[in-house]
Structure 1
Amino acid sequence: MSDKPVIMVVDDEIANIELIAAVLEEDYEIIFARSGEQAIDIARKAMPDLILLDVVMPGLDGYETCRRIKQDPDLADVPVIFTTGLDAVEDEVRGLAAGAIDYVTKPVQPVALRRRVSNHIDLKQMRDRLANLALIDPLTGLGNRRMLENLLQNEVARLMPLNGWLSVILVDIDFFKQYNDMYGHPAGDQCLVQVASRLNAAMRRDGDRCMRYGGEEFACVLPGADPAGALQVAEQILQEFQALAIPHAGSRVADVVTISGGVVSRRCGPGLPVSFWIEHADKLLYESKRLGRNRVTSRTIEGA
């Protein structure tokens, strides 16, 4: 698969598509659509990096197509450049009001088109990098709490029509404050990195993800995992941490770093907030702590 940015060209005239493709194909992967309806359908599947959109088309015109693209949460951030023979100021204003980021008149000038496309691709890639950084914990490299919330929201929406299982494991390092006090914060940071690495390695199925929830807490999201499967993952994590044998002289339960965990499983149903899983996993985590730590507590929540 090409690593080039993907440009979608939307025009009802194949000659216009071929002309634009010839100008851009050296630096970009080109896909195309010949109507507004087709453009929206293809864009949802291909997720292009930029859309070059003709204004005058049969059926949905470019203005309405752009408006619908910008109303779609998955496509709203894709920049749209109008390409059209209309050159009146009011046409350009109308295009910008519909959500386009730029306006190129026909006949297309190759040098100008390449420069405008390059500028907007660079801006989008910068925005994407900043957005990704906002979702990553800088110490461990795992997703952060914001990514966790986004992931849960997406998985609940995906699994709800299937009445599918969703399990969450919330993990806390036992007596981590004492670890920091005894070994120092740099050693504490290194411990967190080792814990994150081991948890991430335990996510062996496609779709399973581990994120840093905050402080010394981590959350593992297991889409499609039933209660038995989720508990098996949690118990395996517990055993692996005992085998990891990071010294912890300040612990009251062992002479190595241990963890406590809470595991909640439920079928996804309507009306459930994404906070449901975290709240229940958190209660179970604290039950593990109350019972002496270095253990996991699990519960299946009945529902539709």
Structure 2
Amino acid sequence: MNGVEIQKVLVADDDAVNRDVLGELLKPEYTVLLAKNGAQTLERAARHLPDLILLDVMMPDMDGYEVLRRLRADPLTEHIAVIFISGLDRPEDEANGLKMGASDYITKPFNQTVVMARVALHLQVVRQRRMLERLANIDGLTELANRRRFDEVYELEWQRARRSGRPLSLALLDIDAFKQYNDRYGHPAGDRALRAVARLAAGAMRGPAELAARYGGEELVLLLPETGADEARQLVSQLREAVLGLMIPHEASSVAQVLTASVGGATLEPDSQEEAAALFEAADAELYRAKQAGRNRVVWRMAP
């Protein structure tokens, strides 16, 4: 692999022949997902988050316009690029789709060369937009996600957990006596220590759904979707031990002679009565308990 991410295209068409033709056309270049009706399109868009949807306008259960409206109404899918494919070739039909937020409009019978060219064009725009978003969402010192990015992802994962009923875990990691470390060894050394801990946090994430971010100062936050309390606690306990294993001298610490970290975490199965802040507040309270109990430890609980 050359490190270039293979982009995902969802083909939504109630005609099996059209789905097969478009699927075979796109497979050599992209990961292709197929949907045969509007409900399936919405479900697969939310589950797989494709980069682009080729969406048939005329489908029996739910037309493409309604599918697009629902995609745009959902924070998870509102930014997915959509190209309408339709046998309707009146200018007002095309204008209607574009006004609703479609990126392009291709009429049937479609020309395969034109389809490939337009798909490539819109996916290039998606790549460029994401590159800019990544730059805006990265903490300059640690190269982790920044607080702004965490807040965005946290809200999305909270809503996803509410819909799925799956647990969501969150941990706050704070480097112990970090002010004293900076005072003793200097801020450049402090920056190096923080970057070392950030690399461990990033390495502990097991897949693209999990997020390690710098929340502020020497505090990192770990977001673990679909992860129960026991599994999450084990992961962050290993991370705390890895920080200890760095053996970074910290003679000014009252905790140990090397750099250590305290972690507070919580697991919640969100319901419609709870606000997104509930889980973060629970983890923050557990971090406070970890510090009060002597630091260099993990304290975890199931949030109410």
Q: 1:88 to 1:29 in 2, by over 3 A?
A: same
| CA–CA separation in structure 1 for the residues paired with 2:97 and 2:125 | 20
> Are the counterparts in 1 of residues 174 and 219 from structure 2 also a CA contact under 8 Å?
yes
CA distance in 1, matches of 2:32, 2:65: 22
Identity %: 39
Structure 1 pair 186–97 and aligned structure 2 pair: CA distance change class (3 A): same
Distance 1:186 1:93, change over 3 A: same
| Higher mean C-alpha displacement, 158-167 vs 9-18 | 158-167
Q: How far is the alpha carbon of 1:224 from its aligned partner? A: 0.9
Query: CA-to-partner distance for each residue in 1:179-230, whole Å, 9 max, x for gaps?
Result: 234433332221012112334555679976543221101223453115xx76
For residues 212-263 of structure 1, the C-alpha deviation after alignment (integer angstroms, 9 at most, x for no partner) is 221101223453115xx76666665555444432112443444322333434
Alignment of 1:131-150 (within 5 A): 131-150=133-152
CA contact (8 A) 2:228 2:267 kept: no
Change (3 A) 1:121 1:294: same
Q: 1:162/1:276 Cα in 2 relative to 1: closer, same or farther (>3 Å)?
A: same
In structure 2, the partner of 1:87 is 89
- Partners of 2:207 and 2:55 in 1: CA distance: 40
Give the TM-score taking structure 1 as reference length: 0.76
Q: Structure 1 residue 298 and structure 2 residue 302: aligned?
A: no
Specify which of 213, 225, 229 is matched with residue 229 of structure 2.
225
Please give the per-residue CA displacement for 1:105-129, whole angstroms capped at 9, x wherever unaligned: 3343344333222110111122233
Say if 1:264 and 1:47 are closer, same or farther in 2 by CA, change over 3 A: closer
Q: Structure 1 residues 276, 90: closer, same or farther in 2, change over 3 A?
A: same
Equivalent of 1:244 in 243, 246, 253: 246
Structure 2 residue aligned with 1:97: 99
Residue pair 1:234, 1:296 contacting (<8 A) in 2 also: no
Per the alignment, do residues 8 and 205 of structure 1 end up closer, same or farther by CA in structure 2, a change over 3 Å counting? closer
Who is 1:65 aligned against?
67
Report how many aligned residue pairs link the two structures. 299
> Which residue in the other structure is 1:216 paired with?
218
Cα distance in 1 for partners of 2:119, 2:236 equals 48
1:195 and 2:197 are equivalent in the alignment: yes
**Aligned positions of 1:1-304 closer than 5 A:** 4-17=6-19, 20-21=22-23, 24-153=26-155, 156-157=158-159, 167-200=169-202, 210-221=212-223, 223-226=227-230, 237-264=239-266, 268-289=270-291, 293-296=294-297, 298=299, 300=301, 303=304
Q: Check whether the contact 1:200–1:210 (CA below 8 A) recurs between aligned residues.
A: yes
Q: Which runs of 5+ in 2 are unaligned?
A: none
In 1, the alpha carbon distance for the partners of 2:165 and 2:10 equals 35
- Work out whether residues 266 and 303 of structure 2, in 8 Å CA contact, stay in contact via their aligned partners in 1: no
What is the rounded CA distance, in whole Å, between the counterparts of 1:42 and 1:133 in structure 2?
Answer: 28
Residue aligned with 1:285, SS:
helix
Which whole-Å CA distance do the structure 2 matches of 1:174 and 1:211 have between them? 18
Task: Report deviation, 1:162.
Answer: 8.3
Q: State the secondary structure of the residue aligned to 2:229.
A: coil
Q: For 1:169 and 1:204, how far apart are their aligned partners in 2?
A: 15
Which of these two proteins has the greater Rg computed from alpha carbons? 1
SS at match of 1:99: coil
Q: TM-score, normalised by structure 2?
A: 0.76
